[in-house]
Amino acid sequence: MVILPEFCNSPNGNDAFYAESIPGDSTAVYSQAAQDNKVFLVAGSIPERKDGKLYNTSTVFNPEGSLIAKFSKVFHIDVDIPGGITFQESKTITAGDNLVTFDTPYCKVGLGVCYDIRFPELAKLYVDRGCQLLIFPTFFSVTTGSAHFELLTRARAADNQLYVATVSPARDETTSVVAWGYSCVADPWGEVIAKAGHEEAIVYGDIDPDFVKKIRSQMPLTKQRRADMYTVMDLSNN
Ligand SMILES: NC(=O)CC(=O)C(=O)O
């Protein structure tokens, strides 16, 4: 499986990006690349134009090149951190309202995009749907990435006892939002098993579904939840 970062075909900024429909020129390239290389391709995310609105959408292609999943970012990054980053994604992007999973011969995968990783309930719902791997194409800024990028990757992995892959663009100091970089993969114990620096790189992480089972049987957090005290309900449209 190959994973690309958030906005992998476009600049990222409050309003400076290039949008297209799905299917479109970019997804045609992704489909061909998945087929040529016989891989599952999680094609990061792209600004999607649909029904007069823009979405931040991730597409997934199987090794035959078919589009098998499509997820639009659920949570807007609307933040104002003086001296750091001001971003109002809700001004331009419409939020998605579906959870999306896809099956591979190896494991079931749940999708989020970037800021979605900050909402533990989303990841928890994917556990309930049987996922062993969560994928987040991302574009964290240097301000928030230095504080939270690895922390959130490890936290979602440890509290859900599954693998989490967070994939970032390399850092480019000339762009309006400078990406943090440091793509990484954390395992169900919360350890980082693969990590890039901030420069361009390919990072390889081995996903072992048996290790997910082992950690969950040694420490059965899901069974130990107190449903008599609280619940997280899946009200997603699909
Ligand atoms: N770009 C994002 O959606 C997220 C981000 O930069 C952050 O959470 O920080």
- What is the third-level CATH fold of 2-224? Nitrilase/N-carbamoyl-D-aminoacid amidohydrolase (3.60.110)
SS3 198: coil
pLDDT for res 114: 98
pLDDT for res 16: 65
Q: Which residues of 207-224 are buried (b: 16+ CB within 10 A; e: fewer)?
A: bbeebbeebbeeeeeeee
Which residue in this structure is represented by tokens 């928890």? Answer: 124
What does the pLDDT look like over 75-110, one tens digit per residue?
999 999 999 989 999 999 999 999 999 999 999 999
Does the interface predicted TM-score (ipTM) exceed 0.90?
yes
Any atom of ligand 1 within 6 Å of the Cβ of 114 = yes
Which residue in this structure is represented by tokens 């040694």? Answer: 218
Residue 114 is among the residues annotated as catalytic for this protein: yes
Residue 6 is among the residues annotated as catalytic for this protein: yes
Q: Which residues contact 86 (CB under 8 A, 6 or more apart)?
A: 79, 80
Residue 200 is among the residues annotated as catalytic for this protein: no
Distance 55 CA to ligand 1 centre (A): 15
What does the pLDDT look like over 105-150, one tens digit per residue?
999 999 999 999 999 999 999 999 999 999 999 999 999 999 999 9
Q: What is the mean pLDDT of residues 27-51?
A: 97
Its pTM stands at 0.97
Q: Active site residue: 8, 70, 89, 114, which one?
A: 114
What does the pLDDT look like over 155-194, one tens digit per residue?
999 999 999 999 999 999 998 889 999 999 999 999 999 9
Any atom of ligand 1 within 6 Å of the Cβ of 144 = yes
> Is residue 42 within 8 Å of 3, Cβ to Cβ?
yes
